[in-house]
């Protein structure tokens, strides 16, 4: 598998969950991978497990100084990414709520990380790619930004809807520069992020019951579409949402 041979890919939030799975797959497909995460030790451990084709980068996506410094260090080291997966985010279970019950601090924290953090990641990715002559940016969306799945998650749903809109805007602005921007929309995917649901049989059954294929998603379910979008196979795809959700948003 060498569909990404010669590519350098940065994946945010890749010390665990979907990001970790995508980083592993990209490496198997021949890419150099940058494990970008705010947890320095975890990022270093994942990079070490992949080997010499991986590098750790400490990045707090909600802090522009941190993001800018990480990209500058990578460019200086000869690791300027031509593929970026803006995947890092939070979902504040037990705090996010219906809008009448939602604390402003929870709203701000969610938006700061999920939406502003994605904005900063994409901003500095575009700057690097303009200098390099193009690239592919892939954002991680959510069914909550498309339908009523997020009725109890006002801040999270709004942040993901914003990401979907950001995709189209940036794709239109930089298509002529050879920069493609797309969003992958996974279904409910069982990672540490959603342990509050996965460890509650009733809640889990309720959400899995709304997936026509009849099971929860796994991190590996989104690897293939991300390889496609990162590779030459996806060179005519930009500004699009790719749902890999077991039919969840088709209903």
- pLDDT (0 to 100) of residue 150: 79
- pLDDT (0 to 100) of residue 163: 98
Sorting pLDDT into bands at 50, 70 and 90, what band is 67?
A: very high
Is pLDDT above 70 for 75?
yes
The per-residue pLDDT for range 126-140, each reduced to its tens digit, is 999 999 999 999 999
The per-residue pLDDT for range 213-244, each reduced to its tens digit, is 777 778 888 999 999 999 999 999 999 999 98
Helices 223-230 and 17-28 cross at an angle (nearest 10°) of 50
- pLDDT (0 to 100) of residue 218: 83
Residue 28 lies inside a defined structural domain of this protein: yes
How many domains does one find in the chain? 1
Is pLDDT above 70 for 123?
yes
Is pLDDT above 60 for 108?
yes
Other Cβ atoms closer than 10 A to 29:
20
Closest-CA residue to 173 (of 125, 140, 141): 125
> Domain limits at 117?
8-244
* Mean pLDDT value of segment 82-87: 97
Cα(235)–Cα(54) distance, integer angstroms: 24
- pLDDT (0 to 100) of residue 192: 60
Domain harbouring 119, CATH code: 3.40.50.720
Task: Compute the mean pLDDT over every residue in the chain, rounded to the nearest whole number.
Answer: 92
Place of tokens 């990001």: 19
- pLDDT (0 to 100) of residue 203: 65
Residue 100 lies inside a defined structural domain of this protein: yes
The per-residue pLDDT for range 3-42, each reduced to its tens digit, is 999 999 999 999 988 999 999 999 999 999 999 999 999 9
pTM: 0.92
The per-residue pLDDT for range 176-205, each reduced to its tens digit, is 999 999 999 998 776 665 556 556 676 667
Residue 19 lies inside a defined structural domain of this protein: yes
Alpha-helix runs per DSSP H in the chain: 17-28, 40-50, 64-76, 104-110, 117-132, 154-174, 195-198, 201-208, 223-230
The whole-angstrom distance between residue 248's C-alpha and the CA centroid of its chain comes to 19
- pLDDT (0 to 100) of residue 55: 98
Is pLDDT above 80 for 89?
yes
Residue 156 annotated as catalytic: yes
Residue 59 lies inside a defined structural domain of this protein: yes
Residue 202 lies inside a defined structural domain of this protein: yes
DSSP letter assigned to residue 246: T
DSSP letter assigned to residue 217: B
Query: Which is the catalytic residue, given 156, 174, 188, 242?
Result: 156
Residue 149 lies inside a defined structural domain of this protein: yes
Residue 250 lies inside a defined structural domain of this protein: no
- pLDDT (0 to 100) of residue 191: 62
Rounded to 5°, the CA angle 69-227-231 comes to 85
Is pLDDT above 70 for 251?
no
For the chain, counts of helices (H) and of strands (E): 9, 7
Is pLDDT above 80 for 74?
yes
Residue 81 lies inside a defined structural domain of this protein: yes
3-state secondary structure of 33: strand
């Amino acid at each position: 598998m060498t569909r990404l041979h010669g590519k350098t890919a940065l994946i945010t939030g890749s010390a665990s969950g979907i990001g970790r799975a995508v980083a592993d797959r990209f490496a198997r497909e021949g890419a150099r991978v940058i494990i970008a995460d705010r947890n320095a030790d975890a990022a270093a451990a994942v990079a070490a497990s992949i080997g010499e084709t991986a590098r750790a980068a400490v990045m707090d996506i909600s802090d522009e100084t941190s993001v800018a410094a990480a990209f500058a260090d990578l460019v200086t080291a000869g690791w300027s990414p031509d593929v970026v997966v803006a995947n890092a985010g939070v979902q504040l279970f037990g705090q996010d709520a219906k809008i009448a019950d939602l604390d402003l601090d929870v709203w701000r924290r969610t938006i700061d990380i999920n939406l502003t953090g994605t904005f900063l990641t994409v901003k500095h990715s575009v700057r690097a790619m303009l200098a390099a002559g193009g690239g592919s940016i892939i954002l991680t969306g959510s069914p909550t930004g498309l339908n009523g799945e997020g009725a109890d998650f006002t801040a999270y749903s709004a942040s993901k809807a914003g990401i979907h809109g950001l995709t189209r805007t940036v794709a239109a602005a930089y298509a002529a520069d050879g920069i493609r921007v797309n969003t992958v929309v996974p279904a409910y995917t069982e990672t540490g992020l959603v342990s509050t649901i996965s460890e509650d049989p009733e809640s889990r059954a309720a959400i899995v019951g709304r997936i026509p294929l009849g099971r929860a998603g796994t991190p590996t379910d989104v690897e293939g579409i991300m390889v496609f979008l990162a590779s030459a196979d996806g060179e005519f795809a930009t500004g699009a949402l790719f749902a890999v959700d077991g039919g969840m948003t088709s209903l």
